[in-house]
């Protein structure tokens, strides 16, 4: 199982659209894919369920909020208990043998970071403080090691546009980090900071896991950047417009994070009604549609970057 955190500090970069379409496309190739929605806006959840369905069927017992609640995430509820299988998209891919599951988000998840931060305090010794740090930051990683998740080939985690504790639990749990970005100044500005903060988190976590009474060798983590994916790209004459191409090339040359060849074009006709059908664009657009073709190519590039086989 490969675990990928999809994240950027900047909101509005097409992160959720990318996650939903990649998950659906890879599942349609016969893989079992789990999506985890850690963004309080819950847009990934609403890509597969209507708001009425969320209120009636998911809000009370089937969201990630239920798992994060309590003295420690997962102490009262196992993570697999909040997994759901969106019906519309799975009806579309069932002949492939794949499946797309989801752990939905909750609008109240925005309050969880403060609660988690409070749980970090209170250690009476350095060893106890380190153990709390490892236990809290590693909670999602440990949960995904349960037998119930062994059937999945890929987990995609849609992170909130911040570097709070919930996002950090996703990074610790991940093998890879995928960074969607718009080709403009504000969206690309934070890529270097994201790289630096991820490296600092990994270093701190591994230091705590390697030294002193809190040391546990199995806690060592080594997430890598899968790459930057440029989204909402405007095309002219079948290529990105000049100003955006300049930003893409600047990041390609100067960033420590690799830039993927595939891009997601700006297409309001495809993404303006995202979520209403419960089926992402890549599966409901005509097979020769340019956006669907580009998403399939991007999915192949990402699968190849993960090692190709995804366990099959």
> For position 186, what pLDDT does the model report?
77
Q: What is the average per-residue pLDDT within 65-91?
A: 90
Average pLDDT over residues 44-68: 92
Q: How confident is the model at residue 193 (pLDDT cuts 50, 70, 90)?
A: confident
**Whether the model pTM is above 0.85:** yes
Mean pLDDT of 196-220: 82
In this predicted structure, the answer to whether residue 279 has a pLDDT above a threshold of 60 is yes
Predicted pLDDT of residue 273: 55
Rounded to whole angstroms, the Cα distance separating 40 from 267 reads 25
Q: How far is CA 229 from CA 6, 170, 271, in A?
A: 10, 19, 17
Residue 285 pLDDT: 86
Query: Distance between CA atoms of 42 and 107, rounded to whole angstroms?
Result: 7
- 240 contacts 263 by C-beta, under 8 angstroms: yes
Tell me the domains of the chain and their CATH numbers.
2-305 (3.40.50.300)
> How do residues 221-230 score in pLDDT, each as one tens digit?
999 999 999 9
In this prediction, residue 70 carries a pLDDT of 72
Does the structure show a pLDDT above 90 at 217? no
In 10 A of CB 162, how many CB atoms?
17
Express each pLDDT in 156-181 by its tens digit.
999 998 889 999 999 999 999 999 98
Confidence check: pLDDT of 140 > 90? yes
As a whole number, the mean pLDDT across the chain is 87
pLDDT of the residue at 198? 94
């Amino acid at each position: 199982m490969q675990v990928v955190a999809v994240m950027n500090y900047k909101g509005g970069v097409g992160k959720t659209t990318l996650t939903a379409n990649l998950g659906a496309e890879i599942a349609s190739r016969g893989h079992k894919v789990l999506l985890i929605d850690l963004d309080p806006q819950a847009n990934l959840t609403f890509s597969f369920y209507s708001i009425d369905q969320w209120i009636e069927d998911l809000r009370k017992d089937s969201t990630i909020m239920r798992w994060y609640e309590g003295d420690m995430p997962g102490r009262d509820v196992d993570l697999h208990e909040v997994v759901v299988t969106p019906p519309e998209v799975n009806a579309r891919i069932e002949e492939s043998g794949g499946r797309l599951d989801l752990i939905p988000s909750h609008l109240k998840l925005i309050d969880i970071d403060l609660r988690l931060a409070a749980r970090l305090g209170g250690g009476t010794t350095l060893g106890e403080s380190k153990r709390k740090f490892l236990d809290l930051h590693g909670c999602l990683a440990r949960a995904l090691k349960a037998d119930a998740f062994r059937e999945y080939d890929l987990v995609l985690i849609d992170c909130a546009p911040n570097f709070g504790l919930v996002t950090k639990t996703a990074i610790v749990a991940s093998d890879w980090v995928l960074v969607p970005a718009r080709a403009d100044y504000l969206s690309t500005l934070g890529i270097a900071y994201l790289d630096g903060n991820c490296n600092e988190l990994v270093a701190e976590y591994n230091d705590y896991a390697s030294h002193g009474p809190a040391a546990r060798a199995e806690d060592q983590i080594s997430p890598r950047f899968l790459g930057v994916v440029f989204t909402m790209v405007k095309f002219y004459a079948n290529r990105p417009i000049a100003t955006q191409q300049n930003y893409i090339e600047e990041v390609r040359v100067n960033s420590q994070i690799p830039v993927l060849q595939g891009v997601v074009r700006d297409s309001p006709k495809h993404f303006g009604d995202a979520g209403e059908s419960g089926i992402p664009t890549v599966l409901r657009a005509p097979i020769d549609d340019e956006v669907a073709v580009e998403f399939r190519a991007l999915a192949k590039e990402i699968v190849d970057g993960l090692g190709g086989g995804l366990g099959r």
